A and B are shown apart, each in its own frame.
Chain A
Amino acid sequence: GAVVSQHPSWVICKSGTSVKIECRSLDFQATTMFWYRQFPKQSLMLMATSNEGSKATYEQGVEKDKFLINHASLTLSTLTVTSAHPEDSSFYICSARDGQGTDTQYFGPGTRLTVL
């Protein structure tokens, strides 16, 4: 199956700093990528949908100025958590949609963010 990578796999940062997470589709072009957040013992919650070359669409309740998304190429999307606070600590997962063939979504391995 198609492979989606994320970097870093985990990060610890101080409160007030910004953290960038990269998501790459390794063997297919993804016109659409998605960012999810998952708190302990809960299911994934969609944060935003990112289309290559255009602004991301955010889900209700997700602050666009806090979670900056850039999808500059067909294989790379980035999520920047700005001025991170302890309540932003979570498991962040990206997904890339293979628009050709089966139109299946493939997920990255996730990034564990801990804000001190």
Chain B
Amino acid sequence: DAKTTQPTSMDCAEGRAANLPCNHSTISGNEYVYWYRQIHSQGPQYIIHGLKNNETNEMASLIITEDRKSSTLILPHATLRDTAVYYCIVRVAGYIPTFGRGTSLIVHP
């Protein structure tokens, strides 16, 4: 699996958009970008994933650069409940994900 680089921590004001970056410069053509988050003392929650195109669902948007070497997860209107550790994982479909350190996002009032 390609290695990813994420900032250790970020903060965001409640109601504002939270933009979480991820670098994956060694990504290969058949690898997907997955995002999960883990709220304290809970199991990871699947957020979104994509291959080439930008994706949007009820939770977030995923923007993947044209060269696929980086991506951004966007939470359009962050709430206090979005405070969590966010993991960007790059993997070929069918392989298990390995978890790095992720980004600790703190949403403040």
The chain A residues found within 8 Å of chain B, CB to CB, are 1, 4, 6, 34, 36, 43-46, 49, 91, 93-95, 97, 102-110, 112
Contacts and interface: CB of A to CB of B under 8 A. Distances in A.
B29 interface: no
A93 B100 contact: no
19 contacts: A1-B46, A6-B43, A43-B99, A43-B101, A43-B102, A44-B38, A91-B41, A93-B43, A94-B43, A102-B49, A103-B93, A104-B49, A106-B46, A107-B44, A108-B43, A109-B42, A109-B43, A110-B42, A110-B43
Say whether chain B's binding surface is mostly helix, strand, loop, or mixed: loop
B49 A43 contact: no
Nearest to B92: A103
B97 A112 contact: no
B72 to A, nearest CB: 20
Contacts of A93: 43-44
